Structure 1
């Protein structure tokens, strides 16, 4: 088992002996302390659901810009289409210490979220924005997303239970705070070098960053210009790839919740390479948070890491990092 990126068999974990669980938990804890990432097998997500969403996503991205523009995102918290401007790209929040003036990223994405509505206009606007589906052009996209995200929500709750067990917390510590969790399903297309023409100096498909939520579940494709992760020991490295595995990486909220015991994964996606000019990749990225009004109180030692981080309100923290500043009291628990 790679200490930087351990592999956890979710099905095996459920049937493991106490000794086997202890060994797996120790390896997972080391990987989350050092890097913030692991591979998840035994998750039960059908390959057909991944293939279908990728196929429908490719159809959407292949549409002319004029057809996609009615679904364009106008604010950081909205669902819809995030455009990649010709010769430019898109901007994302950078990790601390990253080059602020780095060229914009070379990808475009389609975002969707929960269909839940609270009845509170402000809460729904910023936490559960309405999805905008291209039903007229591609009715299959909505069906594919909803089928896939049903699996992601199931896996997310299983991960919440796993994390609580590894930390020695009550089994419902995280699940009880995720009954109406905010999340975003992102279908991201990384175009080929042949299609974008040129790449600016320092330009990447996705620049160095950490994710803003509790954790992210990723279905990735292996590529020359693909995913890289970072830790102090290895610097930037290509994480292992297994066709049957999902990638799980921790985000800022989980690092805060564990008071620095576990780290948010710093990662990036490399630029399209001249050695593979026709390579294009499509990632399925499920960003998961918690109930929007959850107060993230850093756990005390010995469970927490003792970093002395300050409490935050879950959705308030995420929106603030997107440049949307609201009172924390706007998000009731």
Structure 2
């Protein structure tokens, strides 16, 4: 079925024989061609690390608004707090949602501390973090969790190279100082938000901008819907009582594979009042992984690539350009 989403156990992948590696590669390749996602286990990310960050993030979101405003982001590609807002991904052209209506979630963003010595480039691609002085455990929890995410991202890059029968360091060689963003997103209950209007979503339809995203969904909570041509929108099967991560393919990887793989179109609808869900809230941990900002992303030639003839792009310029961030001083 086109709604089947495979699960990859990283520990099994590391020790599998050639026949099993072929089976894993076939399943991942099919899912990325059709939909743009797969599930990930065996990643050795302690559940406690994710829960620490989730709990610290929720403590921040429940601070008074005037306190959170001290840490408000100042641009589209920046770190800090963002109030209930429109998603910064690329809108789905087929969506009928109101572009002026904000999505029903708050976010806190943190990024890497890489520095190149070029102050302008660092300001564009590695914006400084805004850690709240009132909640030092948020920084500690984020640092611990993102160390795991960077490690897992390197393994996912190697896995994707395996699937394409490329050298295992193919993607990692252009991700030595990759840009990335750790997003803690709070979806407040409708009871807390009050009247939200018709058709509003927690997260409107979009694709992500980078190579892939590692999504840590809160156990026991739902909401994510994904799209493919065969099924339209559907909720992917998800092991809610496990430590499963969701790998969401982004725009850069669709470009890199020249359309062989597709960036995942996804959304998070609001809870249904008529189903008694108005008190449901959720905190998601979303790790957006990209590439070195100066890396030239050249679409892979067929038969490895999909043969769409997409134009090469510099990773950082592609991401900032889609966000409307100027690359040159005004």
TM-score range, shorter chain: over 0.9
1:13 to partner: Cα distance: 0.3
For 1:50, the equivalent position in structure 2 comes to 50
For 2:32, the equivalent position in structure 1 comes to 32
For 1:65, the equivalent position in structure 2 comes to 65
CA deviations over 1:270-309 (Å, ceiling 9, x no partner) = 1122121110000000000000001110000000000111
SS in structure 2 opposite 1:205? Answer: strand
CA deviations over 1:169-208 (Å, ceiling 9, x no partner) = 1111101100000000000000101001122112100000
Instruction: Give the 3 Å change call, closer, same or farther, for CA 152–224 of structure 1 in structure 2.
Output: closer
Is residue 291–residue 314 contact of structure 1 (8 Å, CA) maintained in 2? yes
1:122 to partner: Cα distance: 1.1
State the TM-score, normalized to the length of structure 2.
Answer: 0.94
Please give the alpha-carbon distance, in whole angstroms, between the structure 2 residues aligned to 1:49 and 1:125: 29
For 1:321, the equivalent position in structure 2 comes to 322
Please give the alpha-carbon distance, in whole angstroms, between the structure 2 residues aligned to 1:162 and 1:138: 37
**2:239 counterpart of 1:238:** no
1:101 to partner: Cα distance: 3.1
CA deviations over 1:146-179 (Å, ceiling 9, x no partner) = 0000000000000111111110111111011000
1:244 to partner: Cα distance: 2.2
SS in structure 2 opposite 1:249? Answer: strand
233-242 or 57-66, which deviates more: 233-242
For 2:110, the equivalent position in structure 1 comes to 112
Residue segments in structure 2 that go unaligned for 5+ positions in a row: none
Is residue 3–residue 231 contact of structure 2 (8 Å, CA) maintained in 1? no
Matching of residues 1-333 of structure 1 within 5 Å: 4-84=4-84, 89-92=85-88, 93-99=90-96, 101-102=98-99, 103-134=101-132, 136-221=133-218, 226-242=223-239, 243-274=242-273, 275-326=276-327
1:43 to partner: Cα distance: 0.6
SS in structure 2 opposite 1:152? Answer: helix
1:5 to partner: Cα distance: 1.3
Instruction: Give the 3 Å change call, closer, same or farther, for CA 315–100 of structure 1 in structure 2.
Output: farther
Please give the alpha-carbon distance, in whole angstroms, between the structure 1 residues aligned to 2:87 and 2:214: 21
SS in structure 1 opposite 2:177? Answer: coil
Please give the alpha-carbon distance, in whole angstroms, between the structure 2 residues aligned to 1:147 and 1:237: 33
Please give the alpha-carbon distance, in whole angstroms, between the structure 2 residues aligned to 1:297 and 1:166: 18
Number of matched pairs: 323
Please give the alpha-carbon distance, in whole angstroms, between the structure 2 residues aligned to 1:129 and 1:41: 31
Please give the alpha-carbon distance, in whole angstroms, between the structure 2 residues aligned to 1:295 and 1:57: 35
Is residue 3–residue 234 contact of structure 2 (8 Å, CA) maintained in 1? no
1:222 to partner: Cα distance: 5.4
CA deviations over 1:89-121 (Å, ceiling 9, x no partner) = 435341233346342200000000001111101
Instruction: Give the 3 Å change call, closer, same or farther, for CA 112–247 of structure 1 in structure 2.
Output: same
SS in structure 2 opposite 1:90? Answer: coil
Please give the alpha-carbon distance, in whole angstroms, between the structure 2 residues aligned to 1:234 and 1:51: 33
Please give the alpha-carbon distance, in whole angstroms, between the structure 1 residues aligned to 2:279 and 2:97: 29
Please give the alpha-carbon distance, in whole angstroms, between the structure 1 residues aligned to 2:319 and 2:33: 22
State the TM-score, normalized to the length of structure 1.
Answer: 0.94
Please give the alpha-carbon distance, in whole angstroms, between the structure 2 residues aligned to 1:45 and 1:310: 36
Residue segments in structure 1 that go unaligned for 5+ positions in a row: none
SS in structure 1 opposite 2:91? Answer: coil
Please give the alpha-carbon distance, in whole angstroms, between the structure 2 residues aligned to 1:247 and 1:272: 21
